[in-house]
Each structure stands twice: as structure tokens, then as C-alpha cells.
Chain A
């Protein structure tokens, strides 16, 4: 009887293609929407997290001025740092892995007939340690180059591509403003940051070279430090604030004229944002699941009149209540399962396409897929089964006369 029941159900499904496919469609859309949105949201979150790890979550940055505001608001009247501040940080702050002074300026880099606007960083080899950045080819600066401010540079892969194309840049010269410098190394690629900046669009030169040939002073615009593993960045931040207040003679009650930024805080804020976004997407998806569910409900309830008469007929010619119920249950389960499977397939497809075009990793959350599937299945079964159950419990004559 079981096989027979399943066959009966299949026959009933095939018999009413429109109703069946509308029901399936409701489930398909609901399930697919949830899977797509949650997968894309999860991919975006994962991407942001990995970028933040890439950025260095043990990194802190200290700059003069009262805060990082958009539009370069940090550039204020506060006194700039110099190498003495850098040395003081290196000596007096506990638990640091590396300390790198950084001054930066956007400049036109020229090589042969090509030119490219990029950001030029005057720094030391410590910058590579702080950023956990390795070289793709060539070498880092020598002590002598850094001490005497030689005209050498290390370039990012974007600059390499724009200025040299496929050619080997090592040993070649690029012109920055009024001077030439020799390329001694190429950085490995870091890709885009989560702020959308191209991290590989960069030229590193020794700080001394920058001070002498570009800035014309001995200032240090900011200091990057990285904490050793196991050292709390919050503690480092506190120590740095204490040290800088002391060095800059800021009395109690007066505001800092510098600020220390902990990348971990930013990382957490960003991850939090994407998580909120994912939740939002999930909520939208849940609504579409609900709408899909209402669609299923509608179709099932609309067909109740016809189905009630059918049930009446079946009862009249000798079907038991449980025969009818089994048939309708199987029918609802088959429809819902079809819809669920199609929904999962469609969801995976759109999620894969979406993550391909949005360039986020494709990370499937099987639990969400299962929940979406179960939800639709339950709606399908409940609304397919319960009207049928009510009808099957009527006296046959009432079911037959149902208008």
C-alpha cells in the first residue's frame, strides 16, 4: 500500500501541474532566497575578517592630532613626531615586536614613458615587520641605505604592473618628483583592504630619503607598532598614551594632542558591521521565506473546495479516512521535498554566481539551508495536510456537498 500511496500521490501531483508547480515555486523561492542571502552575507563577513587579519590585528598606529577624521582632519596644529619619539617608543614600551616610523605623500611615479600616481611611504624595514609583509623579489633596505638616505625603493605589485608591465623592475630607476631611485625589491601582493584601498599601490623609500628629498624636514608623520604575540594591544595602547602624554607634556585634564589607533578595535567594529548586515540579509530572506509560505498556504487553501469534493468521492467509494490522509500527506511531503531540493539547488547556484560577481568567498551555511528547507517543508505539509484532514473527517455526504 505504501508504494501504491506514493504512486497515487505522484499521479495526483502530475494531474494538477499548475497547482503543484505553484506550490513548489513558493517553496523554491523561499529556500533559495534564504540560502543565497545568508551565503553571500557569510562570504562578505569572512572576507572582511580575512582582510583584517591581513591588515595585522596586532598593529597600532599613533599620530599627532586629536583624531582620525575623514578628509585628513588629523593634520592639525599639534606638534609632529620625530625620530626621538620613535626611539622613546622602541625603548620604553614593553611587548613590541617592531616599531616603524612612517611619513607619506601621494606622488607621481615615472618610469620611462609611463607614470602612475601612488602613495610614497618613507619608513624603515620595520614597516615590513609591522605589516607582516614579505618581499616577492629583491631585498629590503640595508642599514647603510636607511642611515644615509640613499635613493632606493621597494614597490608594490600595482606600481610594478603600472610602470613596468611584464618587465623585471629590479635595478630599474623610477622618478619621484625631482629625484630618481633604484628599485631594490618588490612587495608581495596584499590585495584590497576592506576600505576598498589597493594596498599594493605603494612605494617604500627609506625615511631619511623621504625627509630629505620630499618633506624637507625631520618630522615623522605617524608611528606604526606591532605587539608581540600574547601581548594585549589594549595594554600597549595605554602605555603609548601614557608615554606620549609625558613626552608632550600634557597635564592632567587636558586632551591628548595625538591619538593611538588599535587596529583590533577597527577590526571588531568592521566585523560587527558585516555581521549586522548578514543578519539584515537573513531577515529579508526570512521574510521572503514567509511570503513563499503564504503563497503555499493560499494555493493549498484555494484548492480545498475541489479537494474536499474529491475526498468526499474517495470516501464514498470506500476509502478509509487514513487512506485519504496518507495520500494527502505523501502528496504534501513530495511537493515540499521537491520544492526544497529545487530551492537548495537554485539557492546554491545563485549564491555561487553572486559570490563570483561580488568577489566574496563562497561559504555555505548548511544549518541555514536545513532550517529554510524544514520551514518550507513544514508549511507545505501543514497546509497540504490539515485541510485534507478536516475534509477526511467530515461525513462523506458533507464532503461531497462542500461548496
Chain B
């Protein structure tokens, strides 16, 4: 029954995972990263994913983000069966609906913050002028107006992560996936990042799934699921709602 979100009423389903497994290796050496995950995520939810290292939470994130392919089970995104999509179709899905924030930021080196933020728009075929305008707006939204010309090397970790969030948000995704976004940051910067993610979730109704080790981080989410040994063993409602 842990599949039922407490906030189900009145909101449509964005994601539905059924019996998702992910194994590495073959035969006797097979390692199970995910042992059958059933999960429904509703549009507009802020979901925190917790669990010890190796519990499968990151693998699950990567599958949600179409960065990795599950070994078994079905994944419906907006009712579309992702398992039946080609590589390119999955790339298009990422391009149009998904935003990523990684623990290691993954910004392009020696590339200005604005150009980093523009990158997803380049692949969407947005003309340069509009791209620049949107990128600067996104940087402003994460509190980095005026930092557009700085390269990642010139920015602090917290600032880099905010650039990464701007890059994820600039396409106004359906779903924002954040894999330990504050894992490399000090507590002050972590606080900023948390606030930003919640602001996007509440203000723009973007669904957020965030992996974290940090209980305080998880406290920002309206729903927390716990992974253990490749399975979801707890799914709890934090009682927080977007206003």
C-alpha cells in the first residue's frame, strides 16, 4: 500500500513505476540494485528520497531521469511507456520534460554561467537572443544576476549548484530530478538550494524528486520515501503542501 500517495486526490499522476528492477552483472555475480519498485508520483509533488548508500535510490533516480534503463518492470511518464522509447526518443523526453541537478554540478568547464544555462535551449533550437534572455532570467531567479559571464571555476560550490539549477529550470521542466544536490555544499549553501527547490515547486508547480542523506533537507519535502536494499520500505507524508 505504500504506493498510494496521501495527496492523491485532485492531482494527476505524472509517473508510474511498476515492478522496476535493475541488475548489474550476470549469473551468480548478479547484483540487484533495484528489486521491484512500485511508485506513483503526482504532478506537483515534492518528493524526497532517502536511504543508505547502495540502497538503490540513485539508480532509481537515474531510471526516472531516463539516464539509465531498467532491467525489468514498466515506467510510465505522462502515460507514455518509456521502456518502448528509442534512445533518441528518450533524449527528446529529457530535453522537453526533465531537469537535472547533480551532486557534482556537471557544468561545462571554462564556459560562462550564462552559456551553461543556455545549453538545453540550444538543443531545443531556441534562437540565440531569446536563449540569452531566458538564461539571464533563470540566473536571476536563482539569485545570480550579474554572474552570467563567470565560468564555473570562478564560482563557489553553492553558486555552481545554483547555475545548475538555473540550467535545469530554464526549460520549465515537468520534473526536476536532484541527486544529492547539497552533498558537496556547506550548510549555508545547502539552505539556499533547499529554498530554491521548494520555491520552484511551490511557485511554478514543478514536480521535484530529490535524493538526500540529510533529514533536514527531507523535511522540506511533502513526501519522503525510504530505500533499503533496493526496495522502498517506507513512504510517508510530511504534511507539507504547496500553498
Contact = CB atoms under 8 A, between A and B. Distances in A.
Given A312-B106, A397-B67, A1 B91 contact: no
Nearest to A322: B88
Interface string A288-327: 0000000000000000001001101111111111110000
Contacts of B107: 313
A395 interface: yes
A320 B91 contact: yes
B119 A314 contact: yes
Q: What's the interface size class on A, roughly?
A: 20 to 34
A397 B120 contact: no
Q: Which of A321, A322, A396 is most buried by chain B, counting CB atoms within 10 A of its CB?
A: A396
A400 B67 contact: yes
B88 A320 contact: yes
B91 A319 contact: yes
A313 B106 contact: yes
Interface stretch (A8-16, A96-104, A179-187): A8-16
B213 interface: no
Contacts of B62: 397
A318 B67 contact: no
A317 B87 contact: no
Interface string B96-112: 10101010001111110
Given A321-B87, A321-B88, A1 B96 contact: no
Interface string B105-127: 01111110001000110111100
A219 B87 CA distance: 97
B200 to A, nearest CB: 17
B106 to A, nearest CB: 5
A246 interface: no
Interface in A1-30: 1, 4, 8, 11, 15-16
Contacts of A312: 106
Given A313-B108, A317-B95, A8 B69 contact: no
Given A15-B111, A317-B100, A395-B68, A323 B106 contact: no
B167 interface: yes
Contact of B67 (A11, A15, A395): A395
A317 B120 contact: yes
A319 B96 CA distance: 11
A312 B67 CA distance: 9
A4 B68 CA distance: 29
Interface in B82-99: 87-88, 91-92, 94-96, 98
A4 B122 contact: yes
B108 A1 contact: no
Contact of A15 (B88, B110, B171): B110
B230 interface: no
Interface string B32-67: 000000000000000000000000000000100101
Contact of B91 (A321, A397, A400): A321
Contacts of A310: 108-109
B87 A316 contact: no
- Main SS class of interface, A: helix
Contact of A315 (B69, B91, B125): B91
B63 to A, nearest CB: 9
B119 A316 contact: no
B106 A306 contact: no
Contacts of A320: 88, 91-92, 123
A341 B120 CA distance: 34
Contacts of A315: 67, 91, 94
B106 A400 contact: yes
B57 to A, nearest CB: 14
A311 B219 CA distance: 34
Q: Which of A309, A312, A318 is most buried by chain B, counting CB atoms within 10 A of its CB?
A: A318
A23 to B, nearest CB: 16
A318 B91 contact: yes
B123 A317 contact: yes
Contacts of B95: 317-319
B154 to A, nearest CB: 14
Contacts of B68: 395-397
A321 B119 CA distance: 15
B123 A318 contact: yes
A236 to B, nearest CB: 76
A189 B115 CA distance: 70
B110 A16 contact: yes
Given A16-B110, A320-B92, A396 B120 contact: no
Given A1-B125, A310-B108, A397-B62, 5 more contacts: A314-B123, A318-B123, A320-B92, A395-B68, A395-B69
Interface of B: 62, 65, 67-69, 87-88, 91-92, 94-96, 98, 100, 102, 106-111, 115, 119-120, 122-125, 167-168, 171
29 contacts: A1-B125, A11-B115, A15-B109, A16-B110, A310-B108, A310-B109, A313-B106, A314-B119, A315-B94, A316-B65, A316-B67, A316-B94, A316-B100, A317-B119, A317-B167, A318-B92, A318-B98, A318-B120, A318-B124, A320-B88, A320-B123, A321-B88, A395-B67, A395-B69, A397-B62, A397-B68, A400-B67, A400-B102, A400-B106
Interface of A: 1, 4, 8, 11, 15-16, 306, 309-310, 312-323, 395-397, 400
Give 4 nearest A-B pairs by CB, closest first. A318-B95, A397-B67, A396-B67, A15-B110
